[in-house]
């Protein structure tokens, strides 16, 4: 599927918009979430633009799943959370705010009371902290 010039994640893939990159291969990219719920919150995406699980190709979702598992292991070691959720939203009712398929790799804390439709972009991550965490996660990849 062709890339979408209006999509923020396509712009990250092309380098037009910067990101704190964790991992990249031919088909996928993983980077820090700009507005993390907890330390280590990051995203894994296909490089091609697929809006949702309903349209992504079997090959692309398999590739993103592999990247997600790889990065999740590094996040687990880097931030030692109480748990870690892999989460993926499709459509506004599910809380999806960026229409380019992505898995959230989401460290959890006991009693964090996190709901699936948390308030996106509530607290932008502090750049220095995000950079430190990205370096630490990369060291476990």
Distances (CA, A) of 80 to 63, 70, 84, 96, 130: 25, 15, 9, 27, 16
What residues act catalytically? 102
Query: Residue 98's binding partner, choosing from Zn ion, ligand AMP, none, with beta-carbon cut-off 5 to 8 A by kind?
Result: ligand AMP
Residues 106-125 as x/- pattern, contact with ligand AMP by CB under 6 A: --------------xx----
Encoded tokens for 29: 């990219």
Binding positions for Zn ion, rule: CB under 5 A: 4, 7, 9-10, 49, 100
Query: x/- contact string, 39-58, with ligand AMP (CB under 6 A)?
Result: ----x---------------
């Amino acid at each position: 599927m062709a890339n979408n010039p209006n999509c923020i994640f396509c712009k990250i893939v092309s380098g037009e918009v910067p990101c704190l990159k964790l991992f990249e291969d031919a088909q996928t990219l993983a980077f820090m979430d700009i507005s993390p719920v907890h330390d280590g919150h990051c995203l894994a995406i296909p490089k091609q633009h697929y809006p949702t699980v309903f349209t992504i190709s079997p090959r692309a979702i398999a590739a993103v799943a592999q990247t997600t598992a790889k990065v999740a292991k590094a996040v687990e070691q880097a931030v030692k959370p109480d748990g870690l959720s892999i989460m993926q939203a499709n459509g506004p009712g599910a809380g999806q705010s960026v229409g380019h398929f992505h898995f959230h790799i989401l460290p959890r804390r006991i009693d964090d009371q996190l709901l699936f439709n948390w308030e996106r972009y509530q607290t932008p991550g502090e750049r220095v902290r995000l950079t430190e965490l990205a370096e630490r996660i990369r060291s476990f990849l």
